[in-house]
């Protein structure tokens, strides 16, 4: 489903990605872990077609993303650090706007369903600018999936969420997984990674240094492998 081949990203003299090779199967739920500045968000942005690699390529469904940009973008839902929402719009208006951009059918119905799913029905008509960080994150998550993408790319999705919102987000991800959606999530939250992901990738200094499957939400294994590989940099 997602393949990266020998991705290298340079900015000026700095090498951010040093040959990232990845192959992610349809329906997998993958967490990318690693120390600050390791290159995790950069990998996500390259897959999301937001930035171009200096060399190497990304294939989605065996199609090179450069050549099939529009088609690929419609398959992807991306949750960046910034919410991308219009803050003077309500959640409903935001979701209808983004839904229309993606050509979502029955967009108002879909928007209302999603707002209910993220637990914000009570705030349907309040402008987003009056929302807390956690509430904004919930709307941002709904925005990222409004077009029912086959792939979701989440950059630190749990940051700023309270316990109830974490439960809601995990439920959304697992529901989408049950429908065959592929998820790639950059996170520093090992507990959430172990809870919802079936594969862990550890990135250090622009390279993948470990890549393993996870069974039974084995958080201890994640901690152990991470400590071993990132010794001296955390």
Q: Which residues are near ligand ATP by CB under 6 A?
A: 11, 14, 16, 34, 36-42
Measure the CA angle with vertex 42, ends 38 and 43; round to 5°: 95
Nearest approach in angstroms of CB 38 to ligand ATP is 4
Neighbouring residues of 58: CB distance < 8 A, sequence distance ≥ 6: 2, 3, 4, 5, 7, 46, 47, 49, 64, 65
Neighbouring residues of 202: CB distance < 8 A, sequence distance ≥ 6: 32, 33, 34, 208, 209, 210, 211, 225, 226, 229, 230
Query: Which is nearer to ligand ATP, 14 or 67 (by Cβ)?
Result: 14
Query: Which is nearer to ligand ATP, 69 or 233 (by Cβ)?
Result: 233
**What whole-number distance in Å separates Cα of residue 173 and Cα of residue 31?**
12
Query: Which is nearer to ligand ATP, 28 or 41 (by Cβ)?
Result: 41
Bridge partners (DSSP) of residue 31 are: 185, 200
Query: Which is nearer to ligand ATP, 45 or 147 (by Cβ)?
Result: 45
Nearest approach in angstroms of CB 2 to ligand ATP is 17
Nearest approach in angstroms of CB 190 to ligand ATP is 13
Nearest approach in angstroms of CB 134 to ligand ATP is 19
Query: Which is nearer to ligand ATP, 68 or 199 (by Cβ)?
Result: 199
**What whole-number distance in Å separates Cα of residue 219 and Cα of residue 195?**
8
Nearest approach in angstroms of CB 176 to ligand ATP is 23
Nearest approach in angstroms of CB 9 to ligand ATP is 8
Query: Which is nearer to ligand ATP, 10 or 112 (by Cβ)?
Result: 10
Reported in sequence order, the residue ranges of the chain that DSSP labels E, i.e. its strands, are 2-11, 14-24, 29-33, 55-60, 63-64, 76-79, 151-155, 182-186, 199-204, 207-213
CA dihedral sign, ordered 170, 173, 174, 175:
positive
Nearest approach in angstroms of CB 228 to ligand ATP is 18
Query: Which is nearer to ligand ATP, 48 or 111 (by Cβ)?
Result: 48
Neighbouring residues of 163: CB distance < 8 A, sequence distance ≥ 6: none
**What whole-number distance in Å separates Cα of residue 162 and Cα of residue 168?**
10
């Amino acid at each position: 489903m997602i393949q990266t081949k020998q991705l290298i990203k340079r900015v000026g003299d700095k090498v951010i990605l040093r040959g990232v090779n990845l192959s992610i199967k349809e329906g997998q739920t993958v967490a990318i872990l690693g120390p600050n500045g390791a290159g995790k968000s950069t990998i996500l942005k390259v897959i999301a077609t937001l930035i171009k690699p200096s060399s190497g390529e990304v294939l989605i469904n065996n199609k090179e993303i450069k050549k099939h940009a529009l088609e690929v973008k419609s398959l992807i839902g991306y949750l960046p650090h910034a919410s991308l929402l219009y803050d003077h719009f309500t959640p409903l208006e935001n979701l209808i706007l983004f839904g229309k951009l993606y050509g979502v059918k029955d967009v108002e119905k879909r928007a209302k369903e999603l707002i209910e799913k993220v637990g914000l029905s009570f705030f349907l008509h309040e402008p987003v600018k009056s929302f807390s960080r956690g509430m904004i994150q919930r709307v941002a998550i709904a925005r990222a999936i409004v077009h029912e993408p086959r792939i979701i790319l989440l950059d630190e999705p749990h940051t700023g969420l309270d316990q109830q919102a974490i439960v809601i987000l995990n439920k959304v991800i697992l529901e989408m997984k049950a429908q065959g959606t592929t998820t790639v999530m950059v996170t520093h939250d090992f507990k959430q990674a172990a809870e919802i992901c079936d594969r862990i990738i550890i990135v250090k200094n622009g390279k993948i240094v470990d890549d393993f499957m996870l069974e039974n939400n084995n958080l201890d294994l994640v901690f152990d492998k991470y400590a071993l590989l990132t010794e001296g940099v955390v």
